[in-house]
Amino acid sequence: MASTWPSSIVETPQFVWTQSRRWDANRTPFESGYVQTYSRWSTSKETFNMNWNYLSAAGYTALTTHWEERKGGANSFEWTHPVHATTHTVRFVEDSLHVEMIAPLIYSVSLSVEEV
């Protein structure tokens, strides 16, 4: 069973946050100038970039624990989009997590997850 995003992170990411969609196409150029292409995936993949400007100590602890349990981007988990309420199987994009303490027990975090 796949892991899920921690419910103890009650803060939603602040807006503006972004998402992008991409296809992974393989391109093979030929000397004649033609290019042969094909898609490696059967569907496009989305990437979600999220920012928390004011993450509580409890949210910080839950996020870092979840990131450690997933071994950065090594393992996937279920994540529910906070606006559209759609569930995606994702993993962390980066193998490092940058956290900034902006006040006592208040953190600023930016991270990205991508569909697997």
The pLDDT of residue 1: 47
For range 7-23, the mean pLDDT: 76
Q: Which residue has the tokens 């100590």?
A: 57
27, 67, 70 from 62: Cα distances, Å: 42, 9, 12
**pTM, two decimal places:** 0.77
pLDDT of residue 20: 82
CATH number at residue 38: 3.30.200
Tell me the residue range of the domain where 94 lies: 3-115
Q: What is the pLDDT averaged over residues 14-19?
A: 71
Number of domains within the chain: 1
For residue 77, give every residue at least 6 positions away whose Cβ sits within 8 Å of its Cβ, in sequence order, or none. Answer: 2, 3, 4, 5, 66, 70, 89, 90, 91
Q: Render 79-92 in DSSP notation, one character per residue.
A: EE-TTT--EEEEEE
Give tens-digit pLDDT for 57-101: 999 999 999 999 999 999 999 999 888 889 999 999 998 999 999
